[in-house]
Structure 1
Amino acid sequence: MKNTLGNKLNLLDFGLIGEELSIGELLHSSYKRGKKDAIKEIEKDFQNNLQSAAQSSSLLKSKLQQEDISVYDMYLKVVNFNTFKCLVIIKKEDYLTKLKRRKSYTVSEHINDTNNRIELDFSFMSLSNELVVENITSDGFIFKYGTEEKV
């Protein structure tokens, strides 16, 4: 005799009207449905975290421009579920000016302090002729600020 729910459980006022499944089959089925739901939630949370990192990076660019610091480009890297890195390329003269470089880090720290959803580390480098985008992307920075047309 197959060990089914009808044979094992006393559900008081509930009786089985559907297909008789074993407890193991029912558990497996509910686990698979729950796993799909959990994955959807995790994907949604990750997408929100990524969006938050992008918005904070964009805010940094705007705040730096208010401080007369020229941002040439920005790249975003996913470290894990809620940790990101943003590489900010600023004009060489601004990077070499100690006061402006310090101000860049101060502004980035302030933005980090206001965001408790994610961890976002900003790093700065100066614009130079030796800047190779392929090296940046090979380090995991897969998002670039702004939009590019695909050729």
Structure 2
Amino acid sequence: MRTARDERLHELTLAYMEKDLLGTRWLWTVLLLMGIGILMTWFDSVLLTLLFPVAFLGSNLRYQVKKRQILESYVGEELATTYWQFWLVQNVVLSVTFAILLILTVDLSFWQIWGTILIILIPIYVVSEWWFKRRIRRDDPDFVSDQEVYKNV
């Protein structure tokens, strides 16, 4: 017999597998990122790197909408809205931080730019995920994180 957590994990895994072409086919993602790299070279603008977060958000949006619908049936609209709002705020903060860092480091070399960005963005992401999981697990004992869904795919 399946537990509520196993059932939720199964439904979220199916939703993740059904998401748009950009998110499910790594080849399309690689081609998109290569296209952004070509545009950066062609137009000689590092600011086109801002398309990276846009590409990620675009590829993940369909899954997040489906995830919200699934969670509403399990935890109710209020908690599902909390999940959704956290995802949205976290991604906006990470994208804005990325853009600010990119603009501030545009005069550095490629490796210095990406090193600086990763040194700052990774801790922000890790701390925000840790805080969110700790907070949500108090309210929802059957909580399933996106990382668990990705591992289950």
User: Between Structure 1 and Structure 2, which shows a larger proportion of strand residues?
Assistant: 1
User: Between Structure 1 and Structure 2, which shows a larger proportion of helix residues?
Assistant: 2
TM over 0.5: no
Q: Larger relative CO (CA 8 A, sep 6+): 1 or 2?
A: 2
TM-score (norm 2): 0.31
